[in-house]
Amino acid sequence: MPSKQSEEVKRHWIAARLAGDRPDHEPPDTESANDAWGSLTAEPRGVDYLETDAGGLPAMWVVPRHSAIDRVLLCMHGGGFISGSIYSHRKMFGHLAKATGTRALLTGYRLLPEGGGYPVPVDEGEAAYRWLLDQGTEPGHIAFAGDSVGGWLAITVQLRARARGLPLPAAALLMSPVSDLEVTGESYDANSGTDPLFHRDFVRELMRGFLGPAGDPRDPLASPLHADLAGLGPVYIQVGGDETLLDDARSLDEHARKAGLDTTLDVYPGMLHTFQMAAGRAPEADDAIRTMAGCRWTRSQISSTVTRSSSSSAPIGPGSRWCSGRMPLNKCVATVAPASTAGMTWSNVASVWPTAAITPSSTSSRTASSACSRSGAKVIMATWPASSSVRTESRSGSCSTAGSCAPQRAADRNGPSRWMPSTRPSSTNSVSART
């Protein structure tokens, strides 16, 4: 029996269907529609957000406090190519990033009303991935994540990357992924009475609009079910048992297993399309997010050598380092000296690039900020006792780590994946029903 909280997802899809069925229907503006969708998700605590530009595309860093900074979830939102944004999905991917203990980069792409027909979203997804690699992030430290057509992107961007000779990410984490652009799944009929919105004709119209008159739904670069998936990293899929796109997930799981991929499919009984959007409110969504994270990534599970982002209550001692959430992504940019820093704490963990020297007054307890003139960059603020002599300086150095977590361990193109150690054998291929 679905929880009362998860019923909000169903009510959201019913409202979307009723609005579209009205003869005098005028679609709401995109921002209002995205706000309504995003309101399903509770705000995750202890997560900061920073809008940025990723290779010319709108993007947002999602940074849980104390998260490992050299592991990145590259997240691609859903919305049927006509809705969704980095704003509608920031909280849901914030919950996922927090559960995995790493940062996420949520990237946008043009939608159909903006000229975003095929292959534009794939082009822009590839550009975001290239940008992330250019910042020095190792491909084995990146996992793609996406819901609905964002899940489709998480596969097709990999196919494009492979065709262009780019190294592939460590894994793909998919929520109710679209995989069958021909819309042939039997679950469109079997679940037509439980899914209030995504009926076959509606989804087929979306896919035709996206591909255009000359588009081929069997094109291997556009359809994961007709592509050679060999060589891609592990794939973890979640899907609702009551949604009409159930067979999209099943078919993708089967196709990936035939290609030799390490793949796992979890079916959540009674759940609908992208039910994870109720994270922080519905227990089923929270369970799905925890499961997708692969492990809880508590601080005790992360090696002490991993560089993590600071929190406002984090104590600062001699040689303490704070790593920026801005470019370059894999560099530490602040260090504290000298030894007389007892009692000092960060009061603002916002991204800084670069940091300038700050010198406290020796006569009273003060709060000061670094002077940073770079557009869009926020500043570090620090408090210290009057007796301290503290200097914050720009520092360029590698933030290396040893050990971390990921959905499954598997060999990648550059040797063993270092995304996440796991006890699950790399040969595991499984399908399960969540209860």
Look up residue 132 and give its amino acid: L
What backbone torsions phi and psi does residue 301 show, to the nearest 5 degrees?
A: -85, -15
Query: How many CB atoms are closer than 10 A to CB 354?
Result: 17
Q: Which of 6, 83, 88, 148 is catalytic?
A: 148
In this structure, what token pair is assigned to residue 183?
């819309």
Residue 273 among the catalytic residues: yes
Q: How far apart are CA 50 and CA 38, in angstroms?
A: 17
Q: Which of 179, 189, 181, 286 is nearest to 235 (CA)?
A: 179
Residue 284 among the catalytic residues: no
Q: What Cα–Cα distance (Å) separates residue 293 from each residue in 65, 93, 287, 326, 407?
A: 16, 11, 10, 24, 6
Q: Where are the alpha helices (DSSP H) in 71-134?
A: 90-100, 120-134
Q: Which of 85, 124, 273, 370 is catalytic?
A: 273
Q: What Cα–Cα distance (Å) separates residue 13 from each residue in 6, 24, 275?
A: 12, 19, 11
Give 349's contacts (C-beta < 8 A, 6+ positions apart). Answer: 48, 65, 309, 310, 311, 312, 314, 322, 380
Give 329's contacts (C-beta < 8 A, 6+ positions apart). Answer: 69, 70, 72, 132, 135, 136, 137
Q: Which of 6, 124, 223, 243 is catalytic?
A: 243
Instruction: Name residue, tokens 């063993």.
Output: 416
Residue 243 among the catalytic residues: yes
Q: What residues are annotated to the active site? A: 148, 243, 273
